[in-house]
Structure 1
Amino acid sequence: MNRHGVGVQLTVTDAPVVVDASSDAPEARVARRLSLCLAYGMIAALSVVSNAKAQEAEPRSYSNTPIGLNFLLAGYAYSQGKLAFDPNTAIADTTFRSDTGVVAYVRSFELAGQSAKLDVIVPTSSFAAHGLVNGEPREREMLGLGDPRFRFSVNLFGAPALSAKEFASYRQDLIVGVSMQVSAPVGQYDNTKLLNLGGNRWSFRPEFGISKAWGPWTVELAPSVTFFSNNTDFFGGNTFSQAPIYAVQGHVIYTFQSGVWMALDGLYFAGGRTALNGVKSDNEQAITRAGLTVALPINRQNSLKLSASTGITTRTGSELTAVAIAWQYRWGDGY
């Protein structure tokens, strides 16, 4: 989901609250102020959920991989939580549930003598939110395509481009890499609705990664920043903008001789203050999350990955817990 709130309408499934923005009557001005207040409250809460999903921790992003391999991934993630609003708004007791399926393709290749990867990720989600508006129950349910993501990563040091045969004798020490992830605005979007699965805007996330191994243990650290373009059709022509989100993720990984590995994951991100038609809201974020990831090789071509994460601290008070499972199939000669 993305952070799509209200302009002058609080949309519910069949019972929208509409305000005539062209009227100068006192009642209309009060209604517009209330709608703007609700918009900020909704944007603040939904930013927490959407950004937490977008910024999920990813262990082993900068590990070395034999070049010339292809990976097909299919995954499912379930998340649920509560959306916290300013007590001065008319929205209360809001909860959400999200079921997301993901299909991804990854290709490893050589760049300047080091290993590199290209990822293409396409999500499809079912999302439902329920809450009270002025004491009346409201809900929104969605099913559709989310914004696809494209990620290019290259290791700059410590991960030489190797064939599968050469990789058998490789032992990691220190790896340094960089990546760029781009999210394209092609997901489900309806500018008459309160919530959408697509963002109707671009995002760009450059990241720097360090991975250091000591025997079976590996420690990783990856700071990043996400930039957003403006959504100029936010609820019927309003302009929604968001400041950059600064994040850092860390992992402590243990790899067993069988090839099974486990990771303790940590993620902190801050920033992301939003504005509606140039008017800034007081919803800057500061969120800490923790999680666990387990990878289980099945055979040479197939593996499973299980993960779970939850919020530890948050400036806004919104809560998010998620669990996921992913299957990976590998093919290619590895040259």
Structure 2
Amino acid sequence: MLVRIALAASASLAMISGALSFDGARAYHLRPEGASDLSLTTTLLGATETVNFGGGDETSDLGVGVVTPSYRHTFNLMGNAGTILIGLPLGSAFYSTSAGTIDVDTDFAQGDMFIGGVWGLVGAPSMSVMEYVQYKPGFQASVAARLFAPTGDYDSSRLLNLGQNRWTLEASLPMSYALGESMIDPNLMTFEVRPFAVVFSDNDDPFGGADVASKDPIFGVEGHITRNFGNSVWAALDGYYETGGETSADGVAQGDARENLSLGATLGLVLSPSYAVRISYRESVYSSAQDGSVRALEIATAFLF
């Protein structure tokens, strides 16, 4: 019983404090060599579904608020653009049910630190600022990975934790096709797709009495159609899909694999040559969970130097 409750409560929480926060539109946009930025991303996520804890169906609600400071730097990697990324989520969460079976929240705490990298494979040359301004984009493909280390706040006696107490690896293949005369074309339009896979190590100290909790891989894809509206504004239509992630307790499958399809939109604002803002919202239009829905608002600010 406790194991089932714990797995139900943590299933959506892992979307933020684990590796399932989608990257969003223009996350893999070409950048000139030597470009760096400090970013602060605020993510507010709400998830609702109907669960049965043995005494009948109850509506459960999960809320997560996370602020993630991160640093990114682009460099020359064998003639193509390479990028390194490091970040640390900080936030809190709550989980409750309609009948009051559970009503719990976390203190403001640290999530799992991550480090990642991107390497351009096709159509992603390493360029100086002058070359970048003049570059005519087309098809672009890269390989990307992020590793989440079990460094976050975790206590197996608590139902909710921002840390996941497991290693998580996400690998993806970002691809895009751009229509425009240059990377700064005021009418630049891009078509983006990023298939990804996420694998998890075991949690050897889970809540609820089990000795080991495991999680199956998650597979997904996100896509975006973006367009510039002048030099200071761009917008995107977004789509997100994910499936898998069934959990097991001591080798016993819990039957909680998820399949979700979400749609959303993004607004990007270039407020100065060194400061930009991206605002995204998405909401599920299909979920395999009973009466399930997920809503997320993300506001990212970046200082470029």
Judge same fold: TM > 0.5, yes or no. yes
Cα deviation 1:270-296 (Å, max 9, x = unaligned): 111110011111111111111211110
Show the counterpart of 1:210: 175
Cα deviation 1:21-77 (Å, max 9, x = unaligned): xxxxxxxxxxxxxx2xx5335424532453377242422233211011110011222
Distance 1:240 1:90, change over 3 A: farther
Distance 1:119 1:89, change over 3 A: farther
Show the counterpart of 1:182: 147
Query: Residue 65 of structure 1 aligns to a residue in which SS?
Result: coil
Matches within 5 A, 1:135-284: 136=101, 138-215=103-180, 216-235=188-207, 238-284=211-257
Cα deviation 1:100-158 (Å, max 9, x = unaligned): 1110100001111111111112111121222256x556333332001122110111010
1:292 to 248, 255, 265: 265
Show the counterpart of 2:74: 108
Larger Rg: 1
- Counterpart amino acid of residue 7 in structure 2: I
8 Å Cα contact 1:142-1:196 kept in structure 2: no
Matches within 5 A, 1:30-109: 35=1, 38-40=2-4, 42-44=6-8, 46-51=10-15, 54-86=20-52, 88=54, 92-109=58-75
| TM-score, normalised via structure 1 length | 0.82
Structure 1 unaligned regions, length at least 5: 1-34
Show the counterpart of 2:185: none
How far apart, in 1, do the equivalents of 2:300 and 2:16 lie? 19
| TM-score, normalised via structure 2 length | 0.90
RMSD over equivalenced CA pairs, Å: 2.0
Distance 1:89 1:189, change over 3 A: farther
Cα deviation 1:223-280 (Å, max 9, x = unaligned): 1110000000112662000110011111111122314211111111111111001111
Query: Residue 134 of structure 2 aligns to a residue in which SS?
Result: coil
Distance 1:155 1:328, change over 3 A: same
User: Number of matched residues?
Assistant: 294
How far apart, in 2, do the equivalents of 1:127 and 1:121 lie? 19
- Counterpart amino acid of residue 138 in structure 1: D
Structure 2 unaligned regions, length at least 5: 181-187
- Counterpart amino acid of residue 150 in structure 2: P
Show the counterpart of 1:327: 301
How far apart, in 2, do the equivalents of 1:75 and 1:225 lie? 22
How far apart, in 2, do the equivalents of 1:305 and 1:72 lie? 14
